[in-house]
């Protein structure tokens, strides 16, 4: 199994490297990829992002907001897990509104929140925490519908307290609750950048805003590559943490 995973990673690396090599050759030597910035221009743009757009500070703000916000959101869910289990188990249709809200465009919530709160890092954090917790309500309720009955029956046979039973149910449901955490992680990144873009908050979204105002086409691409790399690193760390702490089944 370990050898298979190593081989899979090698194949993925070779695919990415092949695409990169193809882009460099076609971009520099042929007109086929004229709709994309040339590799040399893209490289120059990448370095100019750090000086012309103050990328280090802006990237630090967005990264801090995303991951501290997700951490606080998870912390809130874990602390209130007993209350959530009791409430959602006895109110099976209580989250129908949240299921409907998922069809709303992401920028709607970002615009709404930017009207309510002044420009500050605290406002961004509150936005991320509220967004994350709200998004998680639906997978929590879905997970609670598929609790392992043997755990519940065993706990009841020992006449455990209601609060203890709620903890057992939550622990059993954790792998299902956090199964889509990587997808939600990407969604939170998107929400934060939209929030920063439309509300002129500091962060990566404001870099996109300035690049758009300057018609800096190459900056859009180089920044997108950098953000994709950061999200990939974040995804890898989330998978590692989930495997260590949550996916115990």
Q: What is the pTM of this model?
A: 0.80
Q: Which two tokens stand for residue 44?
A: 């120059």
Least Cα distance to 66 among 10, 8, 124 occurs for 124
Helices 217-241 & 39-52 angle (0-180, nearest 10): 80
* Architecture (CATH level 2) of domain 45-246: Orthogonal Bundle (1.10)
Q: Residues 222, 42: contact at Cβ < 8 Å?
A: yes
CA 118 to chain centre: 24
CB neighbour class for 59 (10 Å; exposed up to 12, middle 13-18, buried from 19):
buried
The total of other beta-carbon atoms located within 10 Å of residue 190's CB is 16
CA distances from 8 to 21, 112, 214, 237 (A): 20, 43, 41, 18
Per-residue confidence (pLDDT) for residue 43, from 0 to 100: 78
Q: What is the DSSP letter of 237?
A: H
Extents of the domains making up the chain: 1-36, 45-246
As a whole number of angstroms, the distance between CA 77 and CA 181 comes to: 13
Tens of pLDDT along the chain (249 residues)?
Answer: 555 555 555 666 666 667 666 666 665 666 766 667 777 777 778 888 888 888 899 999 999 999 999 999 999 999 988 888 887 776 666 566 666 666 777 677 777 777 777 667 888 888 889 889 888 888 888 887 777 666 665 655 656 666 777 777 788 788 888 888 988 999 899 888 888 888 667 889 889 888 888 888 888 888 888 899 899 999 989 988 888 877 655
Per-residue confidence (pLDDT) for residue 135, from 0 to 100: 86
As a whole number of angstroms, the distance between CA 206 and CA 164 comes to: 47
Per-residue confidence (pLDDT) for residue 142, from 0 to 100: 81
CB neighbour class for 211 (10 Å; exposed up to 12, middle 13-18, buried from 19):
buried
As a whole number of angstroms, the distance between CA 50 and CA 44 comes to: 11
């Amino acid at each position: 199994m370990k050898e298979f995973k190593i081989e899979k990673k090698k194949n993925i690396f070779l695919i990415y490297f092949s695409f990169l090599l193809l882009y460099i050759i076609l971009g520099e030597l042929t007109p086929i990829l004229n709709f994309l910035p040339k590799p040399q221009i893209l490289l120059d743009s990448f370095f100019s992002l750090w000086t012309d757009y103050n990328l280090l500070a802006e990237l630090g703000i967005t990264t801090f907001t995303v991951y501290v916000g997700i951490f606080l959101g998870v912390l809130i869910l874990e602390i209130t897990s007993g209350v959530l289990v009791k409430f959602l188990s006895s109110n099976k249709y209580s989250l129908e509104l949240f299921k409907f809200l998922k069809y709303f465009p992401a920028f709607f919530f970002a615009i709404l929140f930017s009207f309510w709160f002044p420009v500050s890092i605290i406002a961004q954090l509150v936005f991320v925490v509220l967004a994350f917790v709200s998004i998680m309500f639906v997978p929590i309720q879905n997970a609670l519908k598929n609790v392992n009955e043997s755990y519940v029956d065993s706990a009841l046979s020992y006449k455990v307290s209601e609060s203890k039973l709620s903890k057992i149910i939550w622990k059993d449901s954790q792998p299902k609750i956090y199964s889509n955490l990587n997808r939600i992680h990407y969604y939170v990144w998107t929400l934060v950048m939209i929030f920063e873009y439309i509300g002129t908050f500091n962060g990566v979204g404001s870099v996109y805003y300035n690049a758009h105002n300057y018609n800096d086409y190459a900056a859009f691409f180089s920044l997108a590559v950098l953000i994709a790399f950061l999200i990939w690193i974040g995804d890898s760390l989330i998978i590692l943490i989930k495997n260590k702490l949550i996916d115990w089944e």
